[in-house]
Chain A
């Protein structure tokens, strides 16, 4: 559905996006991850035909953003970082206006408006002025305007920014439920969010593509070892001693400040699950086992690690280009 090749965008002298290549297939939810100013919004603006690319091509649903922008725009629903609301309009009225300029047929307009009001849970604010809405509702109206013309592709720029935790969970649910028949690109600088909603993640930093993969693969790629967290009640030295002797354990590191209940990060050789043995070892020593769990690398850590690698040895050439092309087809 989306094919981006060698896309660059230059603002005067600054290069906002530097030679990015990626793709997204039908029904896929693609996460765009990066710190503020990494080029996420710029890339999205190119995809939505708001900005022309400096070089490279972007095709949406088979149409080039430069050659056939109207066709592209008809097929894309876009939620900018700041929902584009007219403060003096009322919710239903605004949605009808957006429907009209997005080309929804007159006969279907009323039905579409009530549909999106239903989907985005806007019933109780139907006739409220947009300027009076709270942040959460604004975001939802923004989402509603993006889907009103039933686009095949949704581009959401930080859809959960500024929402409270309950709203974030609701919005994520909404995005996931849309994922079935829409191709969705969403950007975020909050990594857990991308982890929660996206099937594939693109990490971008300073305009460059750092990695493209599933959240799970990214975690696996960066982790040589699995890490297990263990807390027991007992003398730290003896517990540690005992743990180090369990087969498959690579290293045992103390975790956090010792407060009489020693906690450890235990690195385990890849592919082995030694949790049972660890538990047995602790219990065998006569110490109560308080906690035992595997620690995954969070995307935060992955992100920091990847961008650090990038700075150390730029440019990183291990982005799986082949994989993307497959996905794009």
Chain B
């Protein structure tokens, strides 16, 4: 446990002494801020229109602002996660510091979990920046916090699942660009996988939509915590960690 924290601390320090953390947080903040502004502006305009014409039902902030924003946030993390994970192992392999880690009395699993923890905390920073924006809805509106919490839980799960896959791909190469591109490509594929379901047979369609990360975040964004979705993300996380662990082991046998 102590080793996990040591590794995580070192990784976090690296994120924050290099520009990576600031760039990721800044990009995340600016883009989310833009989405937030647009969603809110649209909501306010619609609200005024309704008041003018005096018809329609009262609009729900969660449905019109929070829910699309949470979905947007999952798209943003699709772009940002590769930036976070691509260096995790590739950099260590390039600079030779992997030799220090692998000859230290640290279990491979501790190393993997430490790195994942650090990456998760940085990702949590992005969620936090988003939350600062969203908290305005509580000050000036009457948003409901429960669906938001469910959504954030979903995003944390989605983020960790992405991070663990990105981390896995980073063990395959000593080139960060390669690791980053592979990660991004994989995420994009997972993203669009459920498109197949609209025109292929039921079985293939069902499998595709189950594999796709999009379908699972939608429930969370609505505020629904479905066990199926939780299991999906947890199994992806487990798979990522497990395969990273294996890949580290094979690193020794291959090199």
Contact = CB atoms under 8 A, between A and B. Distances in A.
A50 B102 CA distance: 6
Contact of B6 (A11, A49, A97): A97
Interface string A69-101: 011011010101010111111000100011011
B252 A52 contact: yes
B97 A76 contact: no
B13 interface: yes
Interface size bucket, B side? 20 to 34
A73 B6 contact: no
B95 A84 contact: yes
Contact of B97 (A48, A71, A86, A100): A86
Q: Top 3 nearest A-B pairs by Cβ distance?
A: A84-B100, A73-B105, A84-B97
Interface string A16-45: 000000000000000000000000000001
B18 A74 contact: no
Chain A CB within 10 Å, residue with most, of B7, B98, B100, B106:
B100
B105 A70 contact: yes
Interface residues of A, number: 29
Interface in B66-115: 95-107
Contact of B95 (A76, A87, A100): A87
A73 B103 contact: yes
A84 B99 contact: yes
What's the dominant secondary structure at chain B's contact region?
Answer: helix
Contacts of A49: 102-103
Contacts of A76: 103
Contacts, number: 66
Contacts of A169: none
Contacts of B200: none
Contacts of A84: 95-100
B14 interface: yes
Contacts of A102: 104-105
Contacts of A11: 255
Identify the interface centre among B6, B18, B101: most chain A CB within 10 Å of its CB: B6
Given A51-B252, A51-B255, A78 B103 contact: yes
A101 B103 contact: no
Contacts of B98: 84
A78 B97 CA distance: 12
Which of A11, A51, A52, A101 counts the most B-chain CB atoms under 10 A from its CB?
A: A101
Given A50-B252, A89-B13, A101 B104 contact: yes
B146 interface: no
Most A CB atoms within 10 A — which of B95, B105, B106, B253?
B105
A13 to B, nearest CB: 14
B10 interface: yes
A101 B253 contact: no
A145 interface: yes
A103 interface: yes
A127 to B, nearest CB: 13
Interface string B215-255: 00000000000000000000000000000000000001101
A88 B14 contact: yes
A162 to B, nearest CB: 14
A78 B14 CA distance: 23
B126 to A, nearest CB: 21
Nearest to B13: A89
